[in-house]
Amino acid sequence: MNRQYSRADHLVRQGDAVLRTLLPGAAQASRPSPATPEVRDDALDEAERRHAEGLMRINHTGEVCAQALYQGQGLTAKLPEIREQMEAAAQEEIDHLAWCEARLTELDGHTSRLNPLFYAASFGMGALAGAVGDRVSLGFVAATEEQVGRHLDAHMDELPSGDHRSRAVLRQMAIDEAHHAEQALAAGGARFPAPVQAGMRLMSKVMTKSVYRL
């Protein structure tokens, strides 16, 4: 028998999700990082380390946005099965969040100070998409995940050639993001028109430019 959650239960779960997303060290991965001990970097000079740090900070903030998006959509989704799908995807994205944070620590870096701002903006967009309708909400997931996949591919090319550990993390993340996009479309997500996707790319550029150093 499935448990019926009250509004208070949902609020408690939502608060816990916010803390796990934004507090350093709070995200706990359910899968081991692809950057296993066997994956070793070549020597990185200071400029290469800083560049790898900036890229991984962008990817970490992208995962913060993904968490907020899924949590907002799950809060306003119309159908229970869609809500459950959003919650399951958010749980899988926790792995990415933890992996990116662990890699940032290895690079002597830090997560972005702008994460709370981007979390709030993404949560609002997710809640709005969910309120409009599940087909739009799922389409937003698919468009977002496809965009994230393009970023990950670009970052794998941009990383210093000797940074094998970051590249291993991004490679698995790209596989997972593609799977999430396929799931959203298979569940009935709408394909967004080109102008909407262009607007999403513009917003993404704002995030990447600001987070690289902050």
Is residue 179 marked as binding? no
Crossing angle, helix 164-186 and helix 134-158, to 10 degrees? 160
Residue 96 known to bind ligand = yes
| DSSP code for 77 | -
Q: How far is CA 82 from CA 14, 30, 147, 149, 203, in A?
A: 17, 22, 21, 22, 26
Helices (runs of H) and strands (runs of E) counted in the chain: 7, 0
Measure the CA–CA gap between 56 and 119, rounded to whole angstroms. 17
177 carries a ligand binding annotation? yes
182 annotated to bind ligand? no
- Residue 15: closest CA among 23, 24, 95, 188: 23
Ligand-binding annotation for 84, yes or no, is no
> Is 63 labelled a binding residue?
yes
Contact between 115 and 64 (Cβ < 8 Å): yes
Residue corresponding to tokens 């620590």: 105
Tokens of 70: 């899924």
Query: Which residue ranges are tagged as binding site for Fe cation?
Result: 63, 93, 96, 145, 177, 180
Query: Which residue ranges are tagged as binding site?
Result: 63, 93, 96, 145, 177, 180
